[in-house]
Amino acid sequence: MENGMDTLRRWVEESRRIVFFGGAGVSTESGIPDFRSEDGLYRQKYRYPPETMLSHDFFEENPEEFYRFYREKILIDEVEPNAAHRKLAEWERQGKLCAVVTQNIDGLHQKAGSRQVWELHGSIWRNYCTRCGKRYPLEFVKNCGTLVPRCSCGGIVRPDVVLYGEMLDQTVVTHAVEAIASADLLLVGGTSLVVYPAAGLLQAYHGSRLTLINRSPTPVDRRADLLLSGSIGELLSQI
Ligand code: NAD
C-alpha cells in the first residue's frame, strides 16, 4: 500500500505545474519564529498583542513602539534558507514548479533561488518613505541610528509589508490566484490558514491534488486530498 509520502513523491514526479502556498512555518526551521506555534510570537508577552503592534493604526500613532518590536522580532535578516526553501527552488529549476505564493516577508525563497515568488504580505527587504516614496534597503532601516528611520525629505520610512488593517496588493493577489487556479498540484505548508484574505486564495484551486503539510491541524484539513503531519523541511528533503 502506498503511504502519504509515496503518494506525494508520485504526484511531484507527475506534476508540471506545482504551486506552493506557504506561511511562517516554512521558515521556523531557519530559526525565524512563527506566530502561533508553542514558541511563536503570540505566546510571548509584550505590552500590546503582536496584531496591535503590527497594525496600520499602531504604526501611525506609535512609530517608536512599532519599530522597537519590528527590529527586535520581525527584522530578521541573518538567516539561511532551509531544506523546504531549497527543494521548492530546485523544482522550479527543473520546470516542475511554476510559483511560490507566500505569506512570509523574510525573502528566504528568493535567497534559496526561487524566482516566481508572490509575496502576499510584502517584504522586509523593501522600504519606502511615506512622504515622497523614495525606496530604501533593509540595511537603512536596520542601521539608520535613530529609532524611527527618516527619509532625506524628513518623512518616516516604513517597511513594504502589509500591516493588519491594510489591503493586499491587488496585482500580487491576481497573479497568485492565477497561479493557484492553474496548478496541477497545490502544495500548502507551514501555515495555520487563519489569516485572511490570504487563506481564502486556496479556493481558486479546483484540482484533486491539494496537499497539506503542517505540524498542527488547520481549518482546511478536511478539504485536503493528502494530509501530512510533520516538519516541512524534513518531509520535503525526503522527496
Ligand atoms: P502562523 O504562525 O499562524 O502558523 C504557522 C503554522 O505553521 C502553524 O500551524 C504551525 O503548526 C506550522 N509550523 C510551524 N513550523 C512548521 C514546520 N517546520 N513545518 C510544518 N509546519 C510548521 O503563520 P501564518 O499562517 O503564516 O500566519 C501568520 C502571519 O504572520 C503571516 O501573515 C505572515 O506574514 C506573518 N509572519 C511571517 C514570518 C516570516 O516571514 N518568516 C514570521 C512570522 C509571521
CATH number at residue 102: 3.40.50.1220
Q: Is residue 41 a part of any domain in this protein?
A: no
**In the predicted model, is pLDDT for residue 227 greater than 80?**
yes
Q: Is residue 184 a part of any domain in this protein?
A: yes
Average pLDDT, stretch 110-122? 98
Q: Give CA–CA dist 137/60, Å, rounded.
A: 21
Question: Confidence band (pLDDT; 50, 70, 90) for 146?
Answer: confident
Q: 191 C-alpha vs ligand 1 centroid, how far in Å? A: 5
Q: Is residue 152 a part of any domain in this protein?
A: no
Question: Confidence band (pLDDT; 50, 70, 90) for 135?
Answer: very high
Please write the tens of the pLDDT for every residue from 169-181.
999 999 999 999 9
Q: Give CA–CA dist 176/191, Å, rounded.
A: 16
Q: 153 C-alpha vs ligand 1 centroid, how far in Å? A: 36
Question: Confidence band (pLDDT; 50, 70, 90) for 37?
Answer: confident
Residue of 26, 34, 211 to mutate, ligand 1, most atoms within 8 A of C-beta: 34
Are 192 and 26 in contact by the 8 Å Cβ rule? The answer is no
Annotated active-site residue in 85, 121, 175, 206: 121
Q: 55 C-alpha vs ligand 1 centroid, how far in Å? A: 18
Are 226 and 212 in contact by the 8 Å Cβ rule? The answer is yes
Q: Is residue 149 a part of any domain in this protein?
A: no
Average pLDDT, stretch 141-168? 95
Residue of 102, 163, 191 to mutate, ligand 1, most atoms within 8 A of C-beta: 191
pLDDT at 145: 79
Work out how many domains the chain is built from and give that number. Answer: 1
Domain span holding position 227 = 1-31+81-121+168-239
Q: Is residue 199 a part of any domain in this protein?
A: yes
Average pLDDT, stretch 196-215? 95
Q: 131 C-alpha vs ligand 1 centroid, how far in Å? A: 32
Q: Is 25 in the pocket of ligand 1 (CB under 6 A)?
A: yes
Q: Is 232 in the pocket of ligand 1 (CB under 6 A)?
A: yes
Residue 121: active-site member: yes
C-alpha cell at 219: 481549518
pLDDT at 60: 97
Q: Is residue 100 a part of any domain in this protein?
A: yes
Q: Is residue 90 a part of any domain in this protein?
A: yes
Instruction: State whether residue 49 is helix, strand or coil.
Output: coil
**In the predicted model, is pLDDT for residue 9 greater than 80?**
yes
**Phi and psi (nearest 5°) for 188?**
-115, 130
Which residue, judged by its Cα, is nearest atom 15 of ligand 1? Answer: 25
Q: Is residue 154 a part of any domain in this protein?
A: no
pLDDT at 50: 86
Question: Confidence band (pLDDT; 50, 70, 90) for 208?
Answer: very high
Q: Is 102 in the pocket of ligand 1 (CB under 6 A)?
A: no
Which residue, judged by its Cα, is nearest atom 23 of ligand 1? Answer: 24
**In the predicted model, is pLDDT for residue 35 greater than 90?**
no
Are 179 and 19 in contact by the 8 Å Cβ rule? The answer is yes
Q: Classify residue 13 by burial, with Cβ atoms within 10 Å: 0-12, 13-18, 19+.
A: exposed
Q: Is 209 in the pocket of ligand 1 (CB under 6 A)?
A: no
Q: Is 231 in the pocket of ligand 1 (CB under 6 A)?
A: yes
